[in-house]
Amino acid sequence: MPHGLVPSESVIAAPRVWVLTGNKAGDNSQVLALAEALGWPFEIKRFVHTRFEIVPNMLLRSTVAGIDREQSSPLEAPWPDLVISAGRRNEPIARWIKKQAPQTVKTVHVGRPWSRLHHFDLIITTPQYRLPVRPNVLHNQTPLHRVNKERLAREAARWHDRLAHLPRPFITVVVGGSSGPYSFCTRAAERLAKDASEFARRVGGSLLITTSARTPAATIDVLEQNLDVPHFLFRWEANAKDNPYFAFLGSAEHIIVTGDSMSMLAEACATRKSVHIFDLGEGENAMRPETAEAAIALRRARDANRPLEGAHIKAFLYRQMMRFGPERLSRDIRIIHGYLVDSGRAVWLGDEVRKDRPLPALDCLDRAVGRVRSLVDATVLLAPAMATEPALTALRRSA
């Protein structure tokens, strides 16, 4: 057999898969995680949306009118067997693709769709969206993630020499941004810097800090100014060629994650290391329920007629939406916080990690892969019957 060729049976039963990526890193991470875990070749479709995309998307629900066709990935036959999407902007595109070949295209949407649930063959969701139980809805406890031992070890090894000057143990700090009523403001950045520095002093180590696309530049400056222990700070930038995110997760003995991103929390917990959730809020606006409830009770006892402060109105309105509004219009990330803490996978920053805590693996990805495989009739053959390894590798490439 010529060198570099793969037997035809190794590429049998491989459906044509399109992965729709968007403008949110968390969504992209989940759809790529699923595509990679399925093990089938896949093609990434990237889109540039028009300024007023929300109008045709919300009105038509099944359309590509909201994208700039010249700057976006082509959408043309042969149509895929499987479309994996996430996010409001990609939802109309996925539905439009299915309309082109409704008998053969299967659509899988990750997260919460804004369309009615029956428009998708499978929805993979998590508790904060509070979707109803339906035959085509898979309820996972945590978001999908791209963490595995091989990726963590490989990335940690690549960064080993660049971090060798810092004292161990490493405490990785993963920084997100604002989410709903929870604001990653300069005050929160100052608290995070001081709490993380104290953690590092207590264990005699250093901080490996990585920001994200949603982290405001002003808060990064405040965060850096208030660090007083050895550290390495990576400032996220678009299309960075050497992002140390997985390297920092792989190198860490402890991980601190801001509580806004469910994807980053899932990835941290998937390492099965000690994970500490940083509460973006304080007092009544805390993420931690017992903290917020105690502060609210104290305020009511002190002055039942005290008006809301301007800075707290957004948080108050969001809480009322979660309590009284339509569930599909809001999300409650505290549900996942509670699950991670109650299951022993994480603690709130400042709480002690139990020495005998269980370290159960997250099964969200395995469950999703099983459902998608049962959904797709995997009988599509790649042509030609013999495919080169480089060609298969190119097909499996990810962002």
Answer for the pair 163, 252: CB distance below 8 angstroms, yes or no. no
Phi, psi of 177, deg, nearest 5: -155, -160
**Please, which residues bridge with residue 123 across strands?**
109, 137
**Please, which residues bridge with residue 348 across strands?**
277
Total number of residues shown for the chain: 399
- Summarised one tens digit per residue, pLDDT across range 116-142 is 999 999 999 999 999 999 999 999 999
Whether 202 has a pLDDT exceeding 70, the answer reads yes
With cut-offs at 50, 70 and 90, classify the pLDDT of residue 89: very high
- Summarised one tens digit per residue, pLDDT across range 3-19 is 444 444 444 558 999 99
- Summarised one tens digit per residue, pLDDT across range 317-363 is 555 555 555 555 578 999 999 999 999 999 999 999 887 776 778 89
Structure tokens at 52: 């007023």
DSSP for 322-388? Answer: HHHS-GGG---THHHHHHHHHTTS-EEBTBPPPTT---PPP-HHHHHHHHHHHHS---PPPSSSSEE
Peptide bond into 181 cis (omega under 30): no
- Could you tell me whether strands 387-388 and 5-6 are parallel, antiparallel, or unpaired per DSSP bridges? antiparallel
Specify the range with the lowest mean pLDDT, choosing from 52-56, 233-237, 380-384.
Answer: 380-384
Overall average pLDDT of the 187-204 stretch: 98
Answer for the pair 229, 201: CB distance below 8 angstroms, yes or no. yes
Overall average pLDDT of the 260-281 stretch: 96
- Helix H or strand E encompassing 311: helix 310-324
- Could you tell me whether strands 122-125 and 137-139 are parallel, antiparallel, or unpaired per DSSP bridges? parallel
Answer for the pair 398, 35: CB distance below 8 angstroms, yes or no. yes
Instruction: Tell me the one-letter amino acid at 282.
Output: E
Answer for the pair 72, 47: CB distance below 8 angstroms, yes or no. yes
145/265 Cα distance (integer angstroms): 10
User: 362-388: buried (b, 16+ CB within 10 Å) or exposed (e) per residue?
Assistant: bebbebbbebbeeebebebebeeeebe
